[in-house]
Amino acid sequence: METLIDSYKILLHRVDTSFIRYLHDQINWKSRLISILGARGVGKTTLLLQHIKLYDDPAQSLYVLADDFYFAEHRLFDLAKDFYQQGGKKLYIDEIHKYKNWSIEVKNIYDKLPDLQVVYTGSSVLELEQGGADLSRRKIEYLMTGLSLREYINISHNLNLRPYSLTEILNGEVDFPMDSLRPLQQLSNYLQEGYYPFFKEDDYSMRLNGILKQTVEFDIPQFADFNTASIQKLKKLLFMLAQTVPFKPNYSKLGRDLDISRNALPTYMHLLEKAGLVSLLPEKSGGIKLLEKVDKVYLQNPNIAYAISTSTPDKGSIRESIFYAWMRVKHYVTASPVADFEADGYTFEIGGKNKTRRQVSTIDPAKAYVVRDDIEHAALHNIPLWMFGFLY
């Protein structure tokens, strides 16, 4: 255990606490079992270490990586028990999906060491895991997304701009430091290299490509039990989507192009969404939410498009995908029969500065908004796209 403690202390000393992600204050840190899921690269590790450094007694807490060499010869439960017997109170386990049969051991820790709190992070694909122990009645689960535009600006310029509610945004009430920054310039930079917290580091595109490769070649196959041929098909599917999004599902044609059975394609799409690589926009339906059909497929965020597209990504697709990425963090969004999106009873049409209201002309004017990319200020029911980047 000494080697784990040494590694933990080194990481804790080095972690920067100058900026804390939005999700931190939404987590009930007093819960006995906390699950924080999210795509690779969104900052889950940093969040854990920041919380320990700012709010815990480091001597009573322990942070471990689930794929540490220590676990080649030791069980997770045995570590937890030893730590607890030495006065430990909080055990943080990072990347738990890399530990075999993790759910069984976490269940045993929860049941047999009731005074030990456990917080773990993992791939968002963990939601799909079958078998093992059922932790649904024990854990509180949170999903972590990438940076909002607000967070990106705060980190870039050492600011403390607050988030806004959807109502405030629709009223054009976002307060932006126009005297020193231009929102459109910040948005342009963010769309290309700003969704992931490592944007300040060198070789952003190479690092993002590495994350995409690890997700497709390791994370998804681990839970879907994919063979090499299936992994190659998954990679081809992601690459094709990057060239064609927003993609209107035509599974028969897509299946022929990629040599994937039509029946398997919805599963492939679902896996890519759970892994944080694509976003599936459901049709508007009065039926059961889980049974709604997919209207369009987007890349999860524009940074992915710029990283893997062979040409400059389509501007309209970029606008729609980032609007959807921001909105779905706090609101349930569907396709609109007459425009691009619906959420909370409002209809949204996305476009550039010359976008008209023709698409939403049949909608109650009080419930219809045009979201424009190339404007700085709201006017009537025309809202700048950048403002929605302040939702979280």
Per-residue pLDDT, averaged over 229-233, amounts to: 92
230 Cβ neighbours under 8 A, 6+ residues apart: 221, 224
Residue 119 amino acid letter: V
**pLDDT computed for residue 128 by the predictor:** 57
- Spatial strand order of the sheet with 346-351 comes to 333-335, 341-343, 346-351, 368-372, 382-384
**pLDDT computed for residue 234 by the predictor:** 93
Per-residue pLDDT, averaged over 81-103, amounts to: 95
Q: What is the CA radius of gyration of the chain?
A: 22
What domains, with CATH codes, occur in the chain? Answer: 2-144 (3.40.50.300), 149-390 (no CATH)
CA distance 387 to 379: 13
**pLDDT computed for residue 225 by the predictor:** 86
With a cut of 60, say whether residue 288 has pLDDT above it.
no
Cβ proximity of 64 and 58 under 8 Å: no
Cβ proximity of 304 and 242 under 8 Å: yes
Per-residue pLDDT, averaged over 343-364, amounts to: 94
8 Cβ neighbours under 8 A, 6+ residues apart: 62, 63, 64
Least-confidence region, from 58-67, 114-123, 214-223: 214-223
**Percent share of the chain, pLDDT over 90:** 82
**pLDDT computed for residue 124 by the predictor:** 87
**pLDDT computed for residue 129 by the predictor:** 61
Cβ proximity of 256 and 18 under 8 Å: no
Q: How many CA atoms lie within 13 A of 37 on its CB side?
A: 18
**pLDDT computed for residue 245 by the predictor:** 79
243 Cβ neighbours under 8 A, 6+ residues apart: 309, 310, 311
Which residue's entry shows tokens 């049941």? Answer: 111
Q: What is the dihedral of CA 42, 46, 48, 54, to 10 degrees?
A: -140
Nearest CA among 142, 179, 147 for reference residue 163: 147
**pLDDT computed for residue 243 by the predictor:** 87
**pLDDT computed for residue 250 by the predictor:** 86
Least-confidence region, from 68-82, 117-131, 235-249, 297-311: 117-131
Alpha helix ranges (H) inside the chain: 2-14, 44-55, 76-85, 102-112, 149-157, 166-170, 183-193, 204-214, 220-224, 228-244, 251-258, 265-274, 302-308, 315-327
The tokens for 43 are 């900052």
With a cut of 60, say whether residue 380 has pLDDT above it.
yes
**pLDDT computed for residue 257 by the predictor:** 87
Q: Which residue has the higher pLDDT, 346 or 124?
A: 346
With a cut of 80, say whether residue 48 has pLDDT above it.
yes
Instruction: For residue 291, list its beta bridge partners.
Output: none
pLDDT digits (tens, 9 = 90+) for 49-88: 999 999 999 999 999 999 999 999 999 999 999 999 999 9
Instruction: For residue 372, list its beta bridge partners.
Output: 351, 384
Mean pLDDT of the chain: 93
Q: What is the pTM of this model?
A: 0.92
CA distance 326 to 147: 9
Q: How many CA atoms lie within 13 A of 369 on its CB side?
A: 28
With a cut of 60, say whether residue 131 has pLDDT above it.
no
